[in-house]
Structure 1
Amino acid sequence: MSTQQTRRPAAADLDANDPLAAQREAFYTPDAGQLTSYLDGNSLGRPLKATAATLQSFVEDAWGSRLIRGWDEQWMDEPTRVGDRIGEVALGAAPGQVTVGDSTSVMLYKLIRAAVDAQPGRNQIIIDRDNFPTDRFIIEGIAAERGATITWIAPNPASGVRAADLDGLVGEQTAVVVLSHVAYRSGFLADAKAITDVVHQAGALMLWDLCHSVGSVPLQLDEWDVDLAVGCTYKYLNGGPGSPAFAYVNAARQNLLQQPIWGWMGAANPFGMTEAYEPAQGIRRFITGTPPVLAMQPLKDMVELIASVGMDAVREKSIKLTNYAMELADELLVPLGVEIVSPRDPAERGSHITVDHPLFADVTTRLWERGVIPDFRPPHGLRIGLSPLSTSYAEVELGVLAIRDVLTELQ
């Protein structure tokens, strides 16, 4: 009996006993001829079926019927209203600390620059060398603008930054430390509380990039006393391509920070058309221009779906999916020379795993042609991203079998 024949019943059994299996029906799925296995939910989440109706209703009612009146009736508060709901459901954040709008890059710039400017005499920014390019590039630009210095952490590339990696680096010159909660390459899940505590002991501020953890890993930003955080909404929050990012600013730090991009929507009296800029109180001061109200609508559906099942259930499914992907990779891919570069311990792993092989760039191209969609990150990493509410075990099995088959063809 073939490996494929022996493995498929296991996937079927797992799906049959999955308490979240019914949630997959909430997502739009292309015809089988277009898609066999979607393993890239950590880059772009599938749309919910409800989103088509949500957008149609918005066009016909809130926009089409109310027109400009919508701003007075609801849209002015949309960035903070949606932010509060994300905070409640997925961030462990009390109201008044989250706002939605701008891109991840712009949000990072605003918060990192504000953190540096708020602490005269502290001109050191700490970040790891393997962080996402945007994070690194934004910091390099801010350092050039403000005459700050950058200290680079060089963690184990197969894992990520641990609290001990900050020993001897963070100190009285440190303004802010910027790290990803889940590493985009390896999927390593950092100990946010322990690292934040170390940073605070040095009197510095901590900013977490939550792009690969929000919606897949339970977060407790208030409990961990995180200062600042930024995350995108198009991965596990399924807001769609280019959906706006969110910023979290701890209530205790808000009036100490002045964000650098002054715009009318972040002013104390936006419609006063005042001569001078006066920042709004609280989280609204971190808004800049007119918020992308239309682009916020799809992610609201996913936040409510997560709320209906709870983040603990989402995390349990995520761990089971990544464990299963690891088992399949060990059995089907490692014998072909593939290396698993994600943590084995699920407590240190987000919702994706990465496997390395010199041929994976070509493998990924051929997989996409066959309707199997992982993604590739240079130099040799193929990421298997598993969105807990939309991914089945059978889909994971089909995808890893396809990776094996294509790699075998190319060797």
Structure 2
Amino acid sequence: MKIRRSYILILGIIAVTAACRKMDDYKDKYLSSGSITYAGKIDSVKAHPGDGRIMLSGLLIADPKITELRIYWNNYADSFKLPITRTPNVDTIKAFLNKMEEGVKTYTLVTFDKYGNRSVAVTITGRVYGDVYRSLLLNRTIKDGLFVGDSVSLEWNVLDASTGALGCELQYTDKSNNLQKLFVKRTDTRTVLTNYQYGTKFSYRTLFLPDSLAIDTFYSKYQDVEVKADITSFYIKNAGTNFANSDGGNGRWQTPADWTTTDDVRNGGNNIGGLDAAGWLPSKALSLEAWWGMTPIPNGKIYQTFTLPAGKYALIVTAGDCSTGGTKYITVAQGTSLPDIGNVPAQALAYTLINKYTDNTLSFTLTGSSPVAIGLQAGMTAEGNYMKAFKVRLMRYP
């Protein structure tokens, strides 16, 4: 038993001795030059996306000995060095990496002090935007647009803030041939373009900030827009409401100024007619009437003639009361007069039977500049037949 105990004691002494030698070897290998010294690391690092570039920012709070920041990406294949001069305060560091590929990358940031000591690495993921992102940007859409007088009124559809859209840059030509520019905020729902030059288009593009930290603003492509236009004042004289009287008649039956009226329309006595000024009407109305006791209107016409350029148009006539008897048209014809009532279906550019108490819309297209005649016409016997119109409008569409 004594021999066995002695053997165990000897083994224990050998084990302790071996362990002490390993510890001494570790100290000699790793601690012979003293403890490892690290430079202070960069704090609060943020990635700021840009257009073909990115900015990385952060704070240097401690360690006044820091002299350099190094940034690595693409698994350390690419790098960037930024010299640093510390101040006694907390320093904000901004590093711009230019000519970067579009996409998402991970960046490693390491600081170095003047002795060459390095900091613990800090990593952050950031995105670079470019042509691919730009190609996906869509312009804000217009709900409605109308040119009236000398102004264009635009109604915008909602612009979703989650897309990063900020608003629109818009430009148009005014009546003095000057280029006007304005910014339409994302929250604006209506915009008026004053002193607008008729016949021109305006253009606009939408601005986007893809990220709240982004350093660059992106733009959609400019879009040219032509809105529908109320061109009544350019072409139609005395268009209503409350049509002006010519120099003939001051009673109920009058003759509309600036409108051509055929002889059978002027059947109110003394070669007067075509305009009804009855007190029970809301306003004076263009009128073709063959009431009992009046002469019939076999081929009556009330019209104006002017030249229109090529384009898409609509003649809108606001009708009052109309009888059921007779044939009553709203007509547009190429040339300087309306066709005879029996030839309307074959010769008119566009025509429609009039419907009472509503806006009657007659659309037509011109492929080239042409004189046109627009107006009302009827064929009716003197048996209580009539048609009334309170307003005439001419629209042009894009």
Band of TM-score, shorter chain: under 0.3
TM-score for the superposition, normalised by structure 2: 0.20
More strand by share: 2
More helix by share: 1
Higher-Rg structure is 2
